[in-house]
Structure 1
Amino acid sequence: MAWAVLLLVKLSPAIAHESSGPERAELQLASVNAAVAYADADGLVYGKNADRAVPIASITKLMTALVVMESGEPLTEWLEFRERHIPAPANAYTRIRKSSELRRGDVLRIALMSSENFAAYTLAGHHPGGYDAFVEAMNAKARELGMMNTTFVDPTGLSVNNRSTAADLVRLVRASSKYPQIREYSTTRYFTGQFRQPRYRLAFGNTNILVHRESWGVGVSKTGYLSAAGRCLVMLSEMDGRPVVTVLLDSLGTRSPMGDAGRIKRWLTTGAGGSVAASARAYEQKKNAAYASSDSASVSLN
């Protein structure tokens, strides 16, 4: 099938690119920063502050997964959950017992589907060259993918210094989707980890409710949250019969990214722009002012 050529038309602060399909109203999203792209075409269909570098919380773990897969280390190897060598930069509660073991593939699975921070840390610790080499590999991969406004300092996303843009994260989702294991692990609905040394079980659930809905055809998924990052979601799913990459950063409520995903799906299908709650509008204004203030302070220091 020949797809329509995408035209670039600037709509400040959002951008939209599309030359066919239904006549579309201006898309209304609760997320402060966003990007939408067809996975099988270049460019963005829609962007909202898409080039603004912001904290991305546990969306980080998608790059963690990419580095693990490209390391070539066996997914069947048992990994030990060791004491952290540096303090966690934020609350890092875990149910996993220190010194216990789980296979690398399952460690990666729970890091993606359930956003298990100790799992992401453990993957980095068992990387060839260790933790620091893993973080270096994350940044090297970002540069290789053309994610020029992205920086990683840890593999979990607990640090506010893990920063990227919505447009850069589109590239990350596209790259991650090439690995069947990342597709499977990130969209696993429920999983029971079988640990050893000692033997015990832990049940995990996916943090994205949309993976439970067949109509969405979710192929890659990752959620994230920090107070500085807001609610975040990146996803590859089927919309209007095509694979679509959705990146939603900094939303107010737990359901806001899901609501935005629904608005994007309707916008692509029917052209309806939708609407968002007044509380979300107020949150967006507050965050935009904070971003502007931060940018001004940065310029002054330089």
Structure 2
Amino acid sequence: MAEAPALPVLPRVSSQRYLPALRVLAVALCAASFLTPMAHANGKKQHASSKKPAATSKVVAKTTKARAEERTVRGGRNVVATVRKTGGKTVVAVQRRSIVRVAEPAPVRQSFGQMAGLHNAIDPLDLKSSVALVLDQDTREVLLSKNDHAVLPIASITKLMTGLLISEAKLPMDEPITITQDDVDTEKFSRSRLAVGTTLPRGELLHLALMSSENRAAHALGRTYPGGLATFVSVMNAKARMLGMRDTRYVEPTGLSSQNQSTAQDLAVLVAAASQDSLVRSLSTSPEYQVEVGRRVLQFNTTNRLVRSPDWDIGLQKTGYISEAGQCLVMQARVAGRKLIMVFLDSTGKFSRIADAERVRRWVEGNRFAPVHTASSQISG
């Protein structure tokens, strides 16, 4: 008897390697097996509905045919099989989906001080501000200094100069000023509760600018200054030169522009000058204020919570923040019987500038006459 021919020896293949593809093919073939009965059933439905109006019959037939001729079968998380019935033939198309990866969030924008490496400076109080200056206003004794000659953006500390000039100009504080489209922030696109068309007296706009750092209020004050905004900015720079603020430059009255720059040394001079103005002192340290806008009453609050603290005796203050400047704070306050000027620039963290001021207060109260000097750097702006 003749021997049966030997079967060919097939190479061994790992089943795990082709398991996903086999699974997809099996699912696809199962789906294809249902296409023919479905097509017949759909055909019967189309025949039964032939008595309906022609337009409706065409739509139903077209929809039913599309459903019968194409089915999508999932064979895994990233594999899809499409089964089509064309000319009596079943076509199975298997494709692998690309994996969509979620992009990582963009890195947080660094401040000018961070980019310049100013936060590497070490100070005994472990301040979060890369720039700090504390001095006695009466004796001019420097109690603490840290990068106090560094030229950095000053954000809304700018409004302290804006308020001082408006007060010194002796303009009528009851004169109505209307917020216009020109006052809308196109630099940082910040929000404001003062809608275009809002009209308030100059005095109330000054109050909101100094107390709650209202950008549209500050811009409107500069825009309506005699001679216009350009004249006001030139007066800001002239005042800085007159005070001896040699490293200070202003380009607008709000502080939204990072081109408004100064040093801790210069800002200490500004705080000393502004503290001599009773109106600026009063408005900057106001805890809250209400204004009537049409039929509504808007509540505005101070941006510096230390104003409300019983532990502090603050004579003048102003806060500021833009990403390029970090958190900023300047104050004139009485601590341990001394009238101190404090400047904190480029602080990291939402409440870090407040925490830095608290550290300084506790240090001064515990070490009344021990000045501290730390590394000082200077950068150009």
Superposition TM-score tier, normalisation by shorter sequence: 0.7 to 0.9
- Matched to 1:253, the amino acid is G
Match of 1:276 in 2: none
Residue number among 94, 104, 108 corresponding to 2:206 in the alignment: 108
Q: Deviations over 1:77-136 (max 9, x none)?
A: 111112217863212311112122111111011111111000000000110001111111
Alpha carbons of structure 1 residues 87 and 96: separation in structure 2 relative to 1, 3 Å: closer
Partner of 2:355: 259
The counterpart of 1:208, out of the listed 300, 304, 309, is 304
Identical columns (%) = 41
The reply to whether residue 161 of structure 1 matches residue 273 of structure 2 is no
List alignment gaps of at least 5 residues for structure 2. Answer: 1-119, 369-375
Q: Which among 279, 282, 301 is matched to residue 181 of structure 1?
A: 279
Residue from 99, 109, 125 that aligns with 2:223: 125
Q: Find out whether 1:95 has 2:211 as its counterpart.
A: no
Matched letter for residue 170 of structure 2: G
CA-based RMSD of the aligned residues comes to: 2.3
Alpha-carbon separation, structure 1, partners of 2:240 and 2:292? 33
CA distance in 2, matches of 1:228, 1:31: 13
Partner residue, 2:325: 229
Residue aligned with 2:248, SS: coil
Classify the secondary structure of the residue corresponding to 2:359.
Answer: helix
Alignment gaps of 5+ in structure 1: 1-11, 15-24, 273-287
Residues in 1 aligned to 2:278 and 2:174: alpha-carbon distance in whole angstroms: 16
* Distance in structure 1 (CA, Å) of the matches to 2:185 and 2:280: 28
The aligned residue for residue 158 of structure 2 is 60
Determine the structure 1 residue equivalent to 2:246. 148
Q: After the TM superposition, list the runs of 4 or more consecutive aligned residues in structure 1 that deviate by more than 3 angstroms.
A: none
Amino acid in structure 2 at the alignment position of 1:116: E
Confirm or deny that 1:137 pairs with 2:235.
Answer: yes
Report the Cα distance in structure 2 between the residues aligned to 1:86 and 1:207, rounded to whole angstroms. Answer: 20
What's the CA shift for 1:13? Answer: 6.0
Secondary structure of the corresponding residue to residue 262 of structure 1:
helix
* 1:189 to 1:85, Cα distance in 2 relative to 1, 3 A: closer
CA distance in structure 2 between the partners assigned to 1:208 and 1:87 by the alignment: 22
Q: TM-score, normalised by structure 1?
A: 0.79
Q: Relative contact order (C-alpha < 8 Å, sep 6+): which is higher?
A: 1
Computing the radius of gyration from Cα coordinates, the structure with the larger value is 2
Whether the aligned pair in 1 keeps the contact of 2:131 and 2:345 (CA below 8 Å) is: yes
| Residue of structure 2 equivalent to 1:21 | none
The answer (yes or no) to whether the contact 2:335–2:364 under 8 Å persists in 1 is yes
